[in-house]
Amino acid sequence: MARPLMILLAVYVLGLISLIASQASASTTSSVDTTFTVPADADEGKNIIPNVKDPEAVDPQVVCPGYKASNVVQTTNGLTADLTLAGKPCNLYGNDIESLILTVDYQAVDRLHVGVQPKYIGAENNTWFILPEELVPKPAAATEPKGADSDLIFQWSNEPTFNFNITRKSIGDVLFTTTGTQLVYADQFIEFVTRLPENYNLYGLGEVIHGLKLNNNLTRTLYAADVGDNIDANIYGHHPIYYDTRYFEVDKTSGNLTYAPNATDKTATYKSYTHGVFQRNAHGQEVLLQEQGLTWRALGGSIDLYFYEGPTQDAVSKSYQKSAIGLPAMQQLWTFGYHQCRWGYGNWTHLQSVVDDFKKFEIPLETIWTDIDYMNQYRDFDNDPVNFPYDGGAAFLSKLHENKQHYIPIVDAAIYAPNPDNASDAYPIYDRGMVEDAFLLNPDGSIYYGAVWPGYTVFPDWIGPVFKYVPTLENVYILQIYEIGTGTNRWWTSEIKGYFEKIAFDGIWIDMNEVSSFCVGSCGSGNLTLNPVHPPFKLPGEAGNEVLTYPEGFNKTNATEASSASSRLSAMRTPTSTAETSTTTPYFRTTPTPGSRDVNWPPYAINNNAGDLAVHAVSPNATHHGGTLEYDFHSLYGHQILNATYHALLEVFPSKRPFIIGRSQFAGSGKFAGHWGGDNYSLWAYMFFSIPQALANSLFGIPMFGADTCGFSGNTDMELCSRWMQLSAFFPFYRNHNTLGASSQEPYIWSAVADASRAAMRIRYALLPYLYTTFYLSHATGSTTMRALAWDFPNEPWLGAADRQFLLGGAVLVTPCLEQGATTVDGVFPGVGQGTVWYDWYNQTAIKGVTAGQNVTIDAPLGHIPVYIKGGNVVPLQEPGLTTAAVRASPWSLLVGLDGEGAATGGLYLDDGESLVPNATTWVDFSATATSLKASPSGNFTDPNALANVTIMGLQQPVTTVELNGTDIGQVWTFDESLNVLRVTGLNNLTAKGAWNQEWTLSWK
């Protein structure tokens, strides 16, 4: 573990919020020369106080009656029962549901389902409670009895009211218990409570900017929001799953286990167990993590709990993905190269100069991106005819693709609504969407018009294609599955295909898909004749909102510039009035109305970062075709646009894996897209936070993750960017991106950053086959690509909160320097107490003299990131290059780190690097002993590249001869007795037909 993070830096972050609050947390902009600006108060809602902060709030556990179970029926794999209110309804935060159905189902040996939903549900209120499987599939139930084989036991009681326990049978540990609490179930409020053990270790419940381990005084709100990367707040994603790891001390005599809440004795023996709990619910939710346990609340839906036995993080992750959310999409090989973007690339010439400069400074560049600068007045699928004309784009992209490089444009979730009184403002993309009934509605059936970057906009309806509505005589919507659907997906696919015919992009970046709107309600209704309009805030770089913030410590290294920026910041701030004011706006609270729901202002106020649910978002009463409400599906909007885009790209590239990076996501979005960390800040604190954010996304089944390297908001500096460029080189998705008006931060801007970037990129690109193989295993099995130390070393409780180091796959340990001005970093070498061997990547020496859990001070001068290889691994490598294509065409190498027993294993996955369903693949197994290394390929993919080099670390005996398949290879090897390293070079001629086209054995003695 490295030195504790200076969380006090968060105070500095908060001090900057006043500056950047006027910036919407998006990667986009709007025209500044419009004749009308949306009023600032258009994005202000009711003055809502979250229930968890409300001194007048009533605790449901005190006043609600709970339920009693009856009519219990044993089934093949569990039981069913009726649950009936045990007393007078409390109707506290909704209208209590009198009769519920309980379903308990052992769905698999390692998975138990507990479901509670209303007994009586009609077509008119189905989606109030039921999450359609067409949107979020349910894990499949077992066809044969599984309960007897499970390590999970379900037990229930009616004393004093209905409650249940889930226990791990093998050790008697109660994993989940509602004993002594009341189940609360209303039309707009659900609550259940479970006790947890002392000093519990919980992970997940995203998306949030927080340390990896969730502390026990935290409220986790799950509600997709365009709010920037605010610490501890709800941001873009919605992942209602937690992992619970418990450490037990093992009695060395009896083997008995004792729960160890404060396991600090490094000489003791520990064993951990991890289980997972997934609540399949898409409504706004809140999870209160408190010292004694957890309270889970939701604004609707059902209790749809899935308990995953584990007993390891790896087992839970794999089962969760395979059964519930789907395995992550495999990515094309080129997507693991370096990506460069910014908000502010003004034209094709500017873009070409950036590409040229990367080549000039010999820094790898795989993909160049454009933010909404390229758009015609910030409208999707339409280029600026002056700065980004189509003919200029064709020339630029032809040259780019000739160099084996790639291009990604941004696509926002909102669609511009043209001015009906201005013929020159025509926007056929909108017109075609109207023909297809593609956009969200108001409750009265009219089009919902919000406001985003281009002005007043409409929003594609991704739920309507699933349902249709049948008006009754009373004009009540009756929900049915829509077999044909509205034309939203058809229209979206057509627009993406049409745009590709003009601009030959290689993937798509989806933004603003929470879904974001810069006003409350349908503010554009009746106002389209004002279009195009300016957002209700100043953009970064506009007068009065210059980007003048810098990283912590900048005043120490750049005192003059920091002082100037500070003075300008002070001048920008509005002077505070000396007049005292005693007026305050009262909080807005609602109470339940019998027979109806208040979707805009539900009686229970979750701790939403924006307060009112309609602020900076499409309003909850926006209506989908079919009559369903945004209130019930809000957090699925981002998921569904990723789904639609994935299938649209299959029409553009029928045989290739779609490449999509999206902002808002839901459980299961990883099977469609990767995710970037959103609008972070150029601060050291946020470089640290990128690590736990990435690790959490690993738990969520989204391994293709990366942060805006060097920071998005504010100005970065040389030192922060150097460190961050090196850190991000070990994330699956590697992109540098920053805001409009900020200083340029391409790595070649500073010579020190260029040097640091080249050094880290050489490692990344050499590791490309290892990274690709590791990611393939994530795609195929659900294993994680980026890993917390505690996951691979589960019996070391001192690693439970470690999130300043991480593993890339099972073989590579990264220990970045995350503190301004530091030249060393503290880190642990996990597993050494049990014999694990670690080798320094750079000098290939074994780390010695380290004890279990010991913090070791490691040299980390600027430009150097400590990297280590775990003994017991064979790591495939290729030669670094400026593009992934160059790497792919280079000779192979193998880096072998023997473990303490003198053995190592590894694997290599090969295919064409792009096909959705490859017609040829090869898997190579590697196995090493103290005297040999064997490669055993199987499959039909042919790679023509020779094997050039093999390095064996950790040999304990001198080497006198080296043979390949029994034939002496001559003097093309050296043995370093001081390092115990065998280096074999010049194997190219001996493997000229391809390194993996036949089995071979390299031996030495």
**Which residues are annotated as catalytic?**
511, 514, 679
CB 136 within 8 A of CB 267: no
Question: For 233-253, b where at least 16 C-beta lie within 10 A, e where not — what string?
Answer: bbbbbbbbbbbbbbbbbbeee
CB 718 within 8 A of CB 561: no
The number of beta carbons lying within 10 Å of the beta carbon of residue 360 is 10
Q: How far apart (Å, rounded) are the C-alpha atoms in residues 284 and 224?
A: 8
Q: How far apart (Å, rounded) are the C-alpha atoms in residues 226 and 152?
A: 39
CB 486 within 8 A of CB 3: no
**DSSP SS3 for 976:** strand
**DSSP SS3 for 999:** coil
Question: Distance of CA 318 to CAs 105, 276, 601, Å?
Answer: 20, 11, 38
Q: How far apart (Å, rounded) are the C-alpha atoms in residues 978 and 448?
A: 73
Q: How far apart (Å, rounded) are the C-alpha atoms in residues 830 and 1?
A: 9
Q: How far apart (Å, rounded) are the C-alpha atoms in residues 816 and 803?
A: 11
Amino acid at 628: T
**DSSP SS3 for 338:** strand
**DSSP SS3 for 83:** strand
Q: How far apart (Å, rounded) are the C-alpha atoms in residues 18 and 576?
A: 13
* Cα–Cα nearest to 183, from 174, 194, 192: 192
Pairing of strands 152-157, 163-168: antiparallel
Q: Which residues are paired to 909 by β-bridges?
A: 923
Q: What is the DSSP letter of 651?
A: H
Q: How far apart (Å, rounded) are the C-alpha atoms in residues 374 and 810?
A: 41
φ, ψ at 18 (rounded to 5°)? -60, -30
| Helix H or strand E segment including 303 | strand 303-308
Amino acid at 167: T
C-alpha dihedral (940, 946, 951, 955), degrees to nearest 10? 60
Helix, strand, coil share (%) of the chain residues, nearest 5: 25, 25, 50
* Cα–Cα nearest to 800, from 251, 246, 265, 276: 246
Q: Where are the alpha helices (DSSP H) in 370-485?
A: 390-402, 428-435
CB 213 within 8 A of CB 200: no
The number of beta carbons lying within 10 Å of the beta carbon of residue 473 is 5
CB 592 within 8 A of CB 603: yes
Q: What is the DSSP letter of 238?
A: B
Question: Distance of CA 657 to CAs 105, 671, 916, 922, Å?
Answer: 36, 11, 5, 18
Residues written for the chain: 1005
Q: How far apart (Å, rounded) are the C-alpha atoms in residues 698 and 243?
A: 12
Which residue do the tokens 């201005």 mark? 422
* Cα–Cα nearest to 436, from 457, 456, 465, 411: 465
* Cα–Cα nearest to 232, from 205, 199, 202, 194: 205
Q: How far apart (Å, rounded) are the C-alpha atoms in residues 193 and 296?
A: 6
Amino acid at 223: Y
HSE, side-chain direction, 13 A CA sphere, residue 515: 36
